[in-house]
Amino acid sequence: MNAPLPFDREALRRAAGEIVANVTELAARGWTPATSSNFSRRIDAHHAAITVSGRDKGRLSDADIMVVDLEGQPVATEHRPSAETLLHTQLYKRYPEVGCILHTHSQNQTIASRLFAGAGQMRLDGYELLKAFRGNDTHEAEVIVPVLPNSQDMHTLAAQVDCLLDRQPMWGYLIDGHGLYAWGTDMAEARRHLEAFEFLIGCELELRKLQR
């Protein structure tokens, strides 16, 4: 007889279903090239569902979703989670209200991260779509998107993110040459934030070509 699972199997099933449905749509837009990107959904106060390392995000199924605890350790599975699992779990630990984290790798995100790595941030202001971010109710706002140096050492990256979070509230950040992390209280909000970041980053890149 198997030991009882430390999480609710039905909660995992629901989380996996949400991840598969949404990631399939994001992959179709080309935001997850070459098996990149990773995605997670909180299950309870101590566990999150997350994509298994190295899977093709355009062909994702429930079997590609596993459970980790908030230290990033696999729970009741032989699978290996994404190398970047710590960047997910640090947010779930720090913010009980965070329920979903989406890390994508679109061309706009990668290009912007290279272009603004020196400045360390992108500034978004004057757009109606800033209202898509929780807490904003006007276009007369500004959203700062930090751009972190890339590292293969997740503890280094996580420490940098913690420093940023100590200084300012935010719903996402870029890593240089890499892509975007965006999050929210649930899948719908994380996805809305992700789409808003992608859209506004794209606008800024195009305006830069047009305005010089």
Give the annotated binding-site residues: 103, 105
Q: Buried b / exposed e across 65-94, counting CB within 10 Å, b at 16+? A: bbbbbbebebbeeebebbebbbbbbbbbbe
User: Does residue 118 belong to the site contacting a second copy (CB under 8 A)?
Assistant: no
How many residues bind to a second copy according to rule CB under 8 A? 47
Interface with a second copy in residues 193-212 (CB under 8 A)? 193, 195-196, 198-199, 202-203, 205-211
Sign of CA dihedral 195, 66, 56, 180: positive
| Least separation in angstroms between CB 163 and a second copy | 21
Interface with a second copy in residues 82-111 (CB under 8 A)? 105, 107, 110-111
| Nearest Cα residue to 100 out of 8, 18, 204 | 18
Judging by DSSP bridges, how do beta strands 65-69 and 179-184 pair with one another?
A: unpaired
Q: Is 77 helix (H, G, I), strand (E, B) or coil?
A: coil
User: Does residue 18 belong to the site contacting a second copy (CB under 8 A)?
Assistant: no
Judging by DSSP bridges, how do beta strands 121-125 and 47-51 pair with one another?
A: unpaired
Cβ proximity to a second copy, 12 vs 179, nearer residue:
179
Binding site for a second copy (CB under 8 A): 25, 29-30, 33-36, 56, 58, 105, 107, 110-111, 114-115, 126-129, 132, 137-140, 150, 152, 175-179, 188, 192-193, 195-196, 198-199, 202-203, 205-211
